[in-house]
Amino acid sequence: MDDVARLSVIDRTDLFSASARRRGLTAAIIEKDFWVCWTLKRLFTLPNPPAGLLFKGGTSLSKVFGVIDRLSEDVDLSFNRAELGFSGESDPLNALTGKKRKHGFEAWTETCQRVIREKLQPQLVEVFADALGEPPATTWGVELAEDDPNGQTLLFRYPADNQSRPADEPAYIRPAVRLEIGARSDHWPAVAGMVISDAAADFPAVFKEPGCMVYALAAEQIFWEKATVLPTWFHAPADKKFRDRQSRHYYDVVRLYEHELGQAAIRDTDLLLKVARHKEVFFPAAWARYADARPGTLRTVPPDARQPEMEQDYRKMQEMIFGEPPRFERLLEVLREIENAINIQSSGMRVSD
């Protein structure tokens, strides 16, 4: 991929434009997809990577597993808490009291910030410079995101053809890869997988190294992590505003369910219980009712009162979905099917009927 990264902006734009024409997308989307994949290659070939990096989230569903057809502008990464020095009772998951758990959260958050600031960011700057040349001549940079108060997000501003970009360009395709890093995630089950950019898939002869291997959270785990987001909105107080782009989780769960990986996940209810327990510890909210995230009581269908705002949010995010997105009514239909498929394993009754 480095050979393409080193091309002139004009030559890269020609390549991305040709790929975009094949796919019916914009060149900016193909460009961003390339730099996401290039960044992943650099992350997972670091000579001394910090704290066991793991790739997860929606972008992994698209690039590693090929399950979803939407652009994710960010890269979700997780450090291994044990490799950060938090294992046994110092891991919040194993803390015996709320006070110890709170102390554990604070300690590993500070450690994450320090590792990102003092190790990962300098490493990326060094390896990016080896491949791209020193900025500012090549117009790239790696910096802490100002909008993350926790100091756990890096922005890679990649060299782009800014002259041809419209002023009203959507934020999700602006020329920056967002690396969101934390240590809350479970690191098992996980798999090794290949990542290939759309441009490399379309024109493999142009690339000496069209793909790269990454270490990613298993799709079955991601299915349950997303599926347990859905009931939090079912149980949320009526005055809690539906957050922007939350409908992506509903879309992702539906697409996963329609894939063999999702069908395998549905049968693994022990994994569901493990994910629910993990969320009780790391994402506590009284109204989330993670104790009900189990066969017999799991809710994936949004309540009637939530559906108008969810539909509005879904319409807004459709520009990120490639091809013809499922109708909102179809999403609800499959979500009911998912809810029944999960809950019937416990009660033998269809809770949505």
pLDDT digits (tens, 9 = 90+) for 270-300: 999 999 999 999 999 888 999 999 999 999 9
Under 8 Å between Cβ of 50 and 31: no
Report the range of poorest mean pLDDT among 174-178, 197-201, 252-256.
174-178
- Shared domain for 104 and 197, answered yes or no, is yes
Which of 217, 246, 268 lies at the terminal end of a domain, its last residue? 217
Whether 198 and 303 share a structural domain? no
241-273 pLDDT, tens digit per residue, is 999 999 999 999 999 999 999 999 999 999 999
231 cis-preceded (ω within 30 degrees of 0): no
Residue pair 42/1 in contact by the 8 Å Cβ criterion: no
Same structural domain, 11 and 151: yes
Whether residue 12 is predicted with pLDDT greater than 90 in this model: the reply is: yes
DSSP letters along 289-334, please? Answer: -GGG-STTT---SPPTTTHHHHHHHHHHHGGGB-SSPPPHHHHHHH
Both 189 and 231 in one domain: the answer is no
What average pLDDT does the structure give for the chain? 92
Q: Which residue has the higher pLDDT, 170 or 247?
A: 247
Of 202, 217, 232, the position where a domain reaches its end is 217
- The verdict on residue 169 lying in a domain is yes
Residue 160 shares a structural domain with residue 13: yes
Helix (H) or strand (E) holding 217: strand 211-217
Cα gap 237→234, rounded to integer Å: 9
Q: What whole-number distance in Å separates Cα of residue 31 and Cα of residue 28?
A: 5
Whether 81 is in a domain gets the answer: yes
Q: How many folded domains does the chain comprise?
A: 2
- 103 lies in some domain: yes
Give the pLDDT confidence score for residue 338 in this predicted structure. Answer: 98
Is the residue at 105 inside a domain? Answer: yes
**Entry pTM:** 0.93
Both 253 and 340 in one domain: the answer is yes
**353 in a structural domain:** no
Whether residue 33 sits in one domain with residue 155: yes
The reply to whether 96 falls in a domain is yes
**Residue owning tokens 């024409």:** 21
Q: Cα–Cα distance between 39 and 218 in angstroms, integer? A: 20
**Shared-domain flag, residues 252 and 163:** no
Same domain, 125 and 203: yes
Strands (E), 120-187: 141-144, 153-157, 176-182
| Reported confidence tier of residue 163, pLDDT bands at 50, 70, 90 | low
- The answer to whether 216 and 60 are in contact (CB under 8 A) is yes
- Where residue 224 falls among pLDDT bands split at 50, 70, 90? very high
**150 and 298 within one domain:** no
- Structure confidence at residue 89 (pLDDT): 82
Q: Is residue 10 part of a domain?
A: yes
Binned at pLDDT 50, 70 and 90, residue 137 comes out as low
Residues 212 and 226 placed together within one structural domain of the fold: no
193 assigned to some structural domain? yes
Q: Which of 155, 189, 217 is the endpoint of a domain?
A: 217
pLDDT tens column, 39-85: 999 999 999 888 899 999 999 999 999 999 988 778 999 999 999 99
Give per-residue pLDDT as tens, 326-348: 999 999 999 999 999 999 997 54
Tell whether 181 and 273 lie within a shared domain.
no
Task: For residue 191, give its domain range.
Answer: 2-217
